């Protein structure tokens, strides 16, 4: 023990004799053990530098967040496509097609480049959703009406004769008048909202949306409802700017029509957009591109559900921005053909409405051609019923537009296919509509035949 102490003492005396302070690690008694020296080295050479780097990194991130990103350049072509898309959304809603309005609004959200464009697209998307709920609720109200139920529209009494979620027949002033759900005039809608909707803030939102966006709407009344909702604490102020946007597709009327009056609509179906692609080489190239893009989907579309799914996929793809006109046309044409092949004439007619959003076409002639094909292909009572109902709806469109020759052709399709079903009520409804069209066709007000020969489109298959 003595020799060990002596050696330790000699070591201590040598350390002091150097004339320097004891080294923190090698000489300080607290750090003589290997574990303590290792801990010190970890702190000094790893943890402390890491802490310094972390603090400096946080400061850099904070500085970067505080700096504003340079504004992105505006793509003018994309901006033009945005304007076309929001106009299409408004037009669809004015025509009582909330699904189309919602589809275009969501497409506009993808095209928006500025905060103002994002706000406008989001507003239209919200309005389309409210409008969709409005028409669903109106359908439930119609379905809940009882035969012989009576209510007044202004000073005119209406008696319910027959009703369903999609159609209603009223008797007024000695005659029956049948309306499809989406063709109800404003005075009847107001009476049904007052008598059939729940009296709460949600109903006010739905009705205010209808009054704001519908071609028959009343924006002064809509503004009053929106202001009432804001006063009640509802956060709808972001929807009010739509009241200052000119209404697209508004129907000019000399006054509010009574339920027994025929709506005063244009004599021709609205047509707008570019001319149909007609260059054979361009169309062949477009057909090849579409065939290659959807080759797998075409191979899987062997069943009716598969064909309908492909029709929906083609129609959705046709809404992509910056598509060449020929490619867009081929996609929509094939979407129509696949919908017909699936036995869904109503879906085919919806695709035709999309065609009219992009190209100058006679919508009624296209729908008549599609329904004639559907009538020939229908082999079941269900298929015949769907064709008859769709033909009846399009016949009403033609009747309102004073296209009486086309209305007669459509009524004939509806009658022929309704006779193949077992639905007595459908057959009676079609017969009544056909009789009314024939009576109107014999009156002196019958529309003159169109001078322009409608352009038909042949199948791409």
Strand stretches in 74-213, DSSP E: 150-153, 156-163, 167-172, 175-180
The rounded mean pLDDT for the chain is 79
Whether residue 49 sits in one domain with residue 177: no
Name the domain count of the chain.
3
The predicted model scores a pTM of 0.51
Average pLDDT over residues 261-276: 46
What pLDDT is recorded for position 212?
92
If pLDDT is split at 50, 70 and 90, which confidence band does 105 have? very high
Cα 439 from chain centre: 38
Whether residue 293 sits in one domain with residue 210: no
Q: DSSP class of residue 419?
A: T
Radius of gyration of the chain (CA): 36
pLDDT in tens, 30-69: 555 666 666 666 666 676 676 676 766 665 665 555 555 5
Q: Please, are residues 347 and 263 in contact by the beta-carbon 8 Å criterion?
A: no
Domain of 358, CATH number, reads: 1.25.40
If pLDDT is split at 50, 70 and 90, which confidence band does 360 have? confident
Whether residue 113 sits in one domain with residue 13: no
Q: Of residues 264 and 316, which shows the higher confidence score? A: 316
Could you give the CA distance from residue 214 to residue 203 in angstroms, rounded to a whole number?
16
Average pLDDT over residues 72-91: 88
pLDDT in tens, 222-247: 999 999 999 888 888 889 899 888 87
DSSP string covering 255-293, please?
SPPPTTSPP---SS----SBPPP--HHHHHHHHHHHHHH
Q: How far is CA 227 from CA 26, 208, 231, in A?
A: 82, 10, 6
Whether residue 57 sits in one domain with residue 129: no
Whether residue 305 sits in one domain with residue 232: no
Whether 76 maps to a domain, the answer reads no
If pLDDT is split at 50, 70 and 90, which confidence band does 12 have? very low
What pLDDT is recorded for position 27?
53
Domain endpoint, select from 191, 215, 243: 243
- Least-confidence region, from 59-68, 117-126, 167-176: 59-68
Cα 277 from chain centre: 26
Q: Please, are residues 416 and 378 in contact by the beta-carbon 8 Å criterion?
A: no
Whether residue 239 sits in one domain with residue 136: yes
Quick one: tokens of 308? 């309908």
Whether residue 218 sits in one domain with residue 127: yes
Task: Tell me which residue range forms the domain holding 41.
Answer: 2-66
Instruction: Compute φ and ψ for 445, nearest 5 degrees.
Output: -80, 5
Percent of the chain predicted with pLDDT > 90: 25
């Amino acid at each position: 023990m003595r020799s060990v102490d002596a050696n330790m003492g000699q070591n201590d005396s040598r350390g002091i004799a150097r004339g320097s302070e004891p080294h923190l690690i090698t000489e300080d008694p607290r750090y003589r053990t290997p574990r303590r020296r290792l801990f010190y080295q970890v702190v000094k050479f790893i943890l402390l530098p890491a802490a310094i780097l972390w603090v400096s990194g946080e400061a850099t991130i904070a500085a970067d967040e505080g700096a504003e990103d340079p504004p992105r350049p505006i793509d003018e072509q994309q901006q033009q496509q945005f304007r076309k898309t929001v106009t299409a959304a408004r037009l669809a809603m004015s025509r009582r097609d909330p699904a189309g309005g919602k589809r275009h609004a969501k497409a506009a959200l993808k095209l928006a480049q500025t905060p103002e464009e994002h706000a406008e697209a989001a507003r239209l998307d919200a309005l389309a959703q409210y409008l969709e709920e409005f028409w669903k609720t109106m359908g439930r109200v119609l379905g809940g009406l009882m035969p012989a139920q009576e209510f007044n529209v202004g000073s005119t009494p209406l008696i319910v004769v027959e009703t369903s979620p999609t159609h209603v027949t009223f008797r007024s002033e000695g005659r029956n008048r049948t309306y499809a759900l989406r063709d109800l005039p404003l005075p009847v809608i107001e009476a049904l909202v007052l008598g059939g909707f729940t009296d709460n803030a949600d109903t006010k939102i739905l009705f205010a949306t209808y009054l704001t966006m519908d071609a028959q709407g009343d924006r002064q009344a809509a503004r009053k409802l929106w202001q009432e909702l804001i006063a009640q604490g509802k956060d709808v102020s972001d929807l009010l700017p739509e009241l200052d946007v000119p209404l697209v597709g508004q129907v000019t009327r000399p006054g509010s029509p009574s339920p027994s009056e025929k709506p005063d609509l244009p004599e021709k179906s609205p047509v707008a957009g570019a001319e149909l692609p007609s260059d054979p080489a361009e169309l062949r190239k477009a057909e090849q591109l579409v065939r290659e893009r959807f080759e797998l989907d075409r191979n899987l579309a062997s069943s009716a559900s598969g064909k309908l799914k492909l029709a929906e996929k083609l129609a959705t793809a046709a809404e992509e921005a910056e598509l060449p006109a020929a490619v867009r046309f081929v996609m929509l044409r094939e979407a129509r053909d696949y919908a017909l092949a699936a036995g869904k004439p109503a879906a085919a007619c919806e695709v035709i409405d999309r065609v009219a959003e992009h190209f100058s076409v006679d919508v009624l002639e296209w729908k008549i051609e599609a329904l004639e094909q559907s009538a020939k292909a229908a082999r079941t009572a269900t298929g015949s019923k769907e064709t008859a109902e769709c033909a009846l709806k399009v016949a009403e469109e033609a009747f309102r537009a004073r296209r009486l020759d086309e209305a007669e052709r459509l009524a004939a399709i509806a009658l022929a296919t309704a006779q193949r079903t077992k639905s007595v009520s459908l057959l009676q409804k079609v017969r009544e509509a056909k009789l009314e069209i024939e009576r109107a066709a014999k009156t002196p007000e019958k529309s003159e035949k169109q001078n322009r020969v409608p352009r038909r489109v042949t199948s791409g298959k």
